[in-house]
Amino acid sequence: MLDWWLLTVFGFLIGILASMTGVGGGVFIVPILTFFYGFVVNAATGTSSATIIFTAIASTFNYAKQKRVYYKTGLILVITTAPGAYIGAWFATIIEGPLLGIVFGVFLILVAAHTIISLIRKKTQEKAQNVKTDMELVKSGKTIAFGVGLGFFGGIASGLLGIGGGTLIVPIMTFALGMPIHYATATSMFTMIFTSISAVTKYYQSNLINFPVALTLAAGSIIGAQVGAYTSKKISGRNLTLIFGIILLVAGVNMIIKYR
């Protein structure tokens, strides 16, 4: 077992990657807590969800200054992501740890594969000359309704796996809503505040959150989130998408190896 003070360092590094890619950080927190600190998976997902609240708030603060957050679109998605997160957290309290770990790993690999394949096929493109505004997306009728419907499953994944929801919300925003990834990662962190709070409510009721660990991780992630939000705007959309896919792939393989 590693020293507990290293959690702050992990939190800092996770905060950078989580904020930069919009995934929240749970894809790293859950494996770290299970591999190195002996947490059962559902306690790791609960603690991860609590940590993500702080990461999401810190990231959103920086992204707001960059004017990259689509508040209206984000709040509409919360209508389904927040309830979905509570339901997902409820499932996590009754599913056996090893099974949840395998589900977590397979889920991450599938999302990673979809992201990387789409990038190879050049489906992920910067659309700077044709970017819809926040209000235009809200008024897009069927498009936003489709995003809201998919958002429910993003919320379930968030609560079930303790990942914040970005692993599904970012693809939903980019592929379903046509939002450029730089805006999607920022808006994802904004919606994650509400999604994670919803999940944490259920985990708290089930006594599956280690608050000292969550706060120790958060101490580092808050600072890292500022670095990640700043770094994100320096990276091209294609490279940011590639980083996003690789991170998910590595984390997914690690989880399956752990619980096979």
Q: What is the pLDDT of residue 128?
A: 45
Q: Is 80 within a domain?
A: yes
Query: Which residues, 6 or more positions from 9, have their beta carbon under 8 angstroms from its beta carbon?
Result: 220
164 close to 17: Cβ distance less than 8 angstroms: no
Better pLDDT: 246 or 115: 246
Q: Is 1 within a domain?
A: no
Cα(178)–Cα(186) distance, integer angstroms: 14
Between the CA atoms of 19, 74, 131 and 182, what dihedral angle is there, to the nearest 10 degrees? 0
Q: What is the pLDDT of residue 241?
A: 75
Q: Is 15 within a domain?
A: yes
Q: Is 83 within a domain?
A: yes
Instruction: Indicate if the pLDDT at residue 211 is higher than 90.
Output: yes
Domain extent at residue 213: 6-259
Has this prediction a pTM greater than 0.85?
A: no
- pLDDT by residue (tens digit) across 158-184? 888 777 777 778 888 887 888 888 899
Instruction: Indicate if the pLDDT at residue 36 is higher than 70.
Output: yes
Q: How many domains does the chain have?
A: 1
Query: Which residues, 6 or more positions from 145, have their beta carbon under 8 angstroms from its beta carbon?
Result: none
Query: Which residues, 6 or more positions from 239, have their beta carbon under 8 angstroms from its beta carbon?
Result: none
Q: Is 120 within a domain?
A: yes
Query: Which residues, 6 or more positions from 7, have their beta carbon under 8 angstroms from its beta carbon?
Result: 213, 216, 217, 220
Q: Is 60 within a domain?
A: yes
Q: Is 253 within a domain?
A: yes
- pLDDT by residue (tens digit) across 93-146? 887 667 766 877 787 788 788 778 877 776 544 444 466 788 888 888 888 999
Cα(17)–Cα(83) distance, integer angstroms: 26
Q: Is 13 within a domain?
A: yes
CA angle at 197 for the pair 252 and 259, rounded to the nearest 5°: 25
76 close to 144: Cβ distance less than 8 angstroms: yes
